[in-house]
Amino acid sequence: MQTNNGLTTHTLSVYVANKPGVLARIAQVFSRRGFNIDSLVVSPSVDGNFSRMTITTIGEPSGLRQIIQQVQKLVDVLQCIDHTGEDAVVKELALVKVVIGPDGRSEALQIADHFGAKTVDLTESSIILQITGNSDKLDAMIKLLTKFKVVELVRTGKVVMARGEEPT
């Protein structure tokens, strides 16, 4: 459980019918309560009739409980679970484009290797690195790469899955 200025970062898993407008209705619940969605990942489930949304937000647990209750009342929502503090696998992916010449390339590649990142594009003047892991790991690598010229950064947002045989 991370804190940000005394507030808790929450990772929610929302299982919904795969229909138009569901995302907009869920986002509206967050907006009405004054919560910002920090990251959002939506993907189809094994059964294409349903989708899994992973939503990351920061706020007071009491306000989030109200959001979860309101989201669960929406017609196309089957389940909404806060995985904060649970034993779950939480990962994200980032692509980082660094403009770098031959002088700093070796050091940048050593940083990438230390974090288990992969080089997915390499030119004479730039590299694109791909890293997966928890948010802290991504943040740490990106911070070390800022000594070079990071010109682009794309992050997927978190995805979550309950460990073991428990459903997410």
Domains 3-86 and 89-160 share a fold: yes
Note the CATH number of domain 3-86: 3.30.70.260
Write down the pLDDT at residue 4. Answer: 54
Topology, domain 89-160: Alpha-Beta Plaits (3.30.70)
CA 29, distance to chain mean position in Å, is 20
Domain ranges of the chain: 3-86, 89-160
Q: Which residues pair with 90 in a beta bridge?
A: 160
Q: What is the largest CA-CA distance in the chain?
A: 58
pLDDT tens digits, one per residue of 115-138: 999 999 999 999 999 999 999 999
pTM of the model: 0.82
* DSSP code, position 147: T
Helical (H) or strand (E) element with 26: helix 22-32
Provide the pLDDT confidence category of residue 100 given band limits of 50, 70 and 90: very high
Q: What is the 3 state secondary structure string of 52-84?
A: EEEEEEEECHHHHHHHHHHHHHCCCEEEEEECC
pLDDT tens digits, one per residue of 46-86: 888 999 999 999 988 888 999 999 999 999 999 999 988 88
Residue 110 has pLDDT above 90, yes or no: yes
Residue 39 has pLDDT above 80, yes or no: yes
